[in-house]
A and B are shown apart, each in its own frame.
Chain A
């Protein structure tokens, strides 16, 4: 989710950094819920910046201070910030409650639907995750990562055709959004993830040739990702290319070691 997530967060930050609306202005999200980017209340900008720098407890304190104000204009957004702080820490159960409250308070604050969807997916609440992604897509632009989220849910539920459609759509959207053929590193990684999951669909069906093609595209887009290299090794071995499989596995091992050395989970 790195590229799209970074974009979403950057968008939120840009909105937050924009000149503060006068108290008389209606919130943009409420005025035009369908197609405008979410705008974060200026009073939550500091909390959001703290999340971006990994200072989650401080971010929560800032959001709670905002909520404690008399007449806080966007308590739903504050709940979203609280949820986002937990989401970024991978504390999904804690995040879920805040996203639920955020959406009760401001159901058209679309970004909350997006993160709520991934939170629910990580908690194994698949039907709810699907509904959250669909809510997000119904309220905002057709976003590649949300469509990808729907594909992940479909894969977990073994709705293979739905998963394939979603991953192919995510790839199309990502490309149309300017991710390809020359793409930024983050966007390239997102596209690589979409191809890797599309390969999962092919593997589920036993179509090794298609799986190989998508995995080769994935490692081309993101050579430092261990996962598609490992899957490519499995596919090549099943296709009888033991030497190619060994090479791919070596790349996977190397990428995994680098990731571990960086302290990534």
Chain B
């Protein structure tokens, strides 16, 4: 196993050495839809269209995974299924990237045979063999797909002690007991039987399908990795099971309170969200309300579909942006100085009123234009096909929202500047983020409900740095350093990023940190690994991807 990992690592290192140092140019916030020439031709399945039940409107995850360890990000799509055959859908797909954002469908021969109703995906090396594996949260049994490093996956669900048959929506890996391997948090949604759906209700006086209000929530699950790719359900012992079963839709594993232990933020639909604060020894305390992350600033639970984590207030601590239902606003909670607490500052950052007509899903902070601050993108689309301005003050198909950070506020960018993709209305759900063409900026993959997967190429220029963490210590499965914090210093300025699992919506993004920079001068990096250990690199060249290996 170690030999295999070492061989792959050498191959990757060789490839990286060959990567060019990109030329600097003027920052530009612009994306181009390159789906047609990307080779990705999948139309996602999520029941019928138009949707008639709640199950049909929640899905559509996707994941970026370097499954062949060749240094670029490949694409995995779990896909959905049908109400009358929820475990017999068209099946998941795997696309291999040639490194230039051109993909080949390699599902056949990959060993991937997942035909369930896939929702969220988490990526991590659960068995410590040096190759990233896939966990698929699903309506029906979840699946663990183990990567053997030879471009083949095997279903390791049963052997790993996983396979929860309930409706799981999202999952994230993290080393929550600081033993070097990846534990797993799975967010669960509601008890639902397509044959006996909840009674319909009305929204704005319009008849719509029922749920989630009134439905029975399903408790989340925390799994401890006990080694060798096997897991143990520790929900009871950890305290997770003590929470009111809620409608979980999203999860992020990260050290939110800065105490060196990995916490868990869970976005719950129409119920207070959770902040599971890690007390050590795999014991957690729910502190969402106390910390200011459970409700919006007005004291209301929100729909909380997507989760983005960034450093909006520049204090080096994670801030949390969540997307919500139409006729409500998205919410940005920024850290309170000196306290393990956050407060709703959505209006201050100009993200409130603009979002009211939109029903938001995937979202993420990234410095898309390389001007040394984090921008924000939100993908939208209603759940009710009847949504229209005259019926629900919203629309079924909706455009994305792109915000450029402009001083203290975020300013909405229009399609005239950022490209026609931003004016096109879709019923989007998930999105994953990473440098798909090797040019050093952050590209996007978007999944639409019962629609085609789209690839959006970032056309940014300017200075940048991608920081990839590697932990090759024996027995360590968290080889990407998921849950780590990276501070970059250049001149007198500092930027903070986190490498984490989860977030966006039902997506797994690139397991590295990306920085935009205002100059090409060398930078200093300070890495705080997920277990709190710090490592400083004083003189790092930019305009490249750099690998920081744990010492």
- B389 pairs with A234, CB closer than 8 A: no
Whether B300 lies near A256 (C-beta < 8 A) is yes
Which of A90, A91, A204, A249 has the most chain B CB within a 10 Å cutoff? A91
A217 an interface residue at 8 Å Cβ cutoff?
Answer: no
Q: Interface-forming stretch among B261-269, B336-344, B475-483, B531-539?
A: B336-344
Measured CA separation A229–B327 after assembly (Å): 23
Residue in B341, B347, B348 whose beta carbon sits within 8 Å of that of A237 in the complex: B341
The 9 nearest A-B residue pairs measured at CB = A230-B299, A124-B353, A93-B389, A124-B354, A227-B298, A91-B393, A252-B299, A226-B299, A94-B390
Answer whether A124 and B299 are a contact pair too, CB < 8 Å, given A91-B204, A249-B289.
Answer: no
Q: Are B350 and A158 in contact (CB under 8 A)?
A: yes
Q: When A91-B389, A237-B290 are in contact, do A227 and B299 touch as well, CB less than 8 Å?
A: yes
Q: Tell me whether A147 is interfacial, beta carbon within 8 Å.
A: no
A156 to B356, CA, bound (A): 13
A249: which B residues are within 8 A, CB to CB? Answer: 289
User: Nearest chain B CB to A125's CB is how many angstroms away?
Assistant: 8
Cβ of A167 under 8 Å from chain B: no
**Does A121 have its Cβ within 8 Å of any Cβ on chain B?**
yes
B487 interface residue per 8 A CB criterion? no
| Chain A residues near B392 (CB-CB < 8 A) | 91
Q: Please, could you name 6 A-B residue pairs with CB atoms under 8 Å apart, sorted by A?
A: A94-B390, A156-B350, A156-B353, A203-B343, A237-B290, A237-B341
B residues near A202, Cβ cutoff 8 Å = none
Q: Is B393 a contact partner of A92 (Cβ separation < 8 A)?
A: yes
- Whether the pair A94, B393 counts as a contact (CB closer than 8 A) is yes
How far does the alpha carbon of A229 sit from the alpha carbon of B289 in the complex, in Å? 13
* A6 contacts partner chain B, Cβ-Cβ < 8 Å: no
Report if A135 contacts B (CB, 8 A).
no
B55 interfacial contact with A, CB 8 Å? no
Nearest opposing residue in chain A for B408, CB measure: A158
Sample of 20 more A-B contacts, CB < 8 Å, known A155-B347, A234-B297? A89-B204, A89-B205, A91-B204, A93-B357, A93-B390, A94-B393, A123-B353, A124-B353, A124-B354, A158-B408, A200-B347, A226-B298, A226-B299, A227-B298, A227-B300, A230-B298, A230-B299, A231-B297, A238-B336, A249-B289
Range of interface residues on B (Cβ < 8 Å): 20 to 34
Min CB–CB distance B264 → chain A (angstroms) = 21
Would you call B299 and A231 a contact (CB within 8 A)?
A: yes
Distance (whole angstroms) from the CB of A188 to the closest CB of chain B: 19
Residues 190-204 of A contacting B (Cβ, < 8 Å): 200, 203-204
Q: Are A90 and B343 in contact (CB under 8 A)?
A: no
Query: Which residues of chain A (134-193) have a CB below 8 Å from chain B?
Result: 155-158
- The answer, yes or no, to whether B352 is at the interface (CB within 8 Å) is yes
Q: A124-B353, A126-B353 are in contact. Are A93 and B393 (CB under 8 A)?
A: yes
Interface of B is mostly: loop
Known: A93-B389, A94-B390, A231-B299. Is A158-B347 also a contact (CB below 8 A)?
A: yes
Task: Report whether over half of chain A's contact residues are helix, strand or loop; otherwise say mixed.
Answer: helix
| Chain A residues, Cβ within 8 Å of B336 | 238
Q: Does B295 contact A (CB under 8 A)?
A: yes
In the assembled complex, which residues on chain A have CB atoms less than 8 Å from the CB atom of B327?
90
- Give per-residue flags for B256-299: 1 if the beta carbon is below 8 A from chain A beta carbons, else 0: 00000000000000000000000000000000011010010111
Determine the chain B residues whose CB is within 8 A of the CB of A122 once the complex forms. 353, 356
CB distance from A145 to the nearest CB of B (A): 18
A123 to B327, CA, bound (A): 9
Question: Shortest Cβ distance from A256 into chain B, in angstroms?
Answer: 7
> Chain B's nearest CB lies how many Å from the CB of A95?
9
Which residues of chain B are within 8 angstroms of A234 by Cβ–Cβ distance?
292, 297, 343
B297 pairs with A124, CB closer than 8 A: no
Q: State whether the Cβ of B504 lies closer than 8 Å to any Cβ in chain A.
A: no
* Cβ contact within 8 Å between A91 and B390: yes
Residues of A within 8 A of B290 (CB): 237
Whole-angstrom distance between the Cβ of B68 and the nearest chain A Cβ: 45
Please measure, in the bound complex, the distance between the C-alpha atom of A229 and the C-alpha atom of B391, giving whole angstroms: 33
Contacts of A91 in B (CB 8 A): 204, 389-393
Q: How far is the CB of B384 from chain A (nearest CB, A)?
A: 14
Contact of B389 among A94, A229, A231, A238 (CB under 8 A): A94
Closest Cβ–Cβ distance, residue B357 to chain A (whole Å): 7
| Nearest Cβ on chain A to B333's Cβ, whole angstroms | 11
Q: How far is the CA of A222 from the CA of B295 in the complex (A)?
A: 21
Give the CA-CA distance A90 to B390 in the complex, in Å. 10
Question: Could you tell me which residues of chain B, from 135 to 189, have a CB within 8 Å of some CB in chain A?
Answer: none
Assess A90 versus B393: contact at CB under 8 Å? Given A156-B347, A226-B299, A238-B341.
Answer: yes
Residues of A within 8 A of B230 (CB): none
Set of chain B residues within 8 Å of A155, measured between Cβ atoms: 347
Chain A residues with Cβ under 8 A from B390's Cβ?
91, 93-94
Quote the shortest CB–CB distance from A216 to chain B (angstroms): 16
B16 within 8 A of A: no
Closest A residue to B297 using CB positions = A231
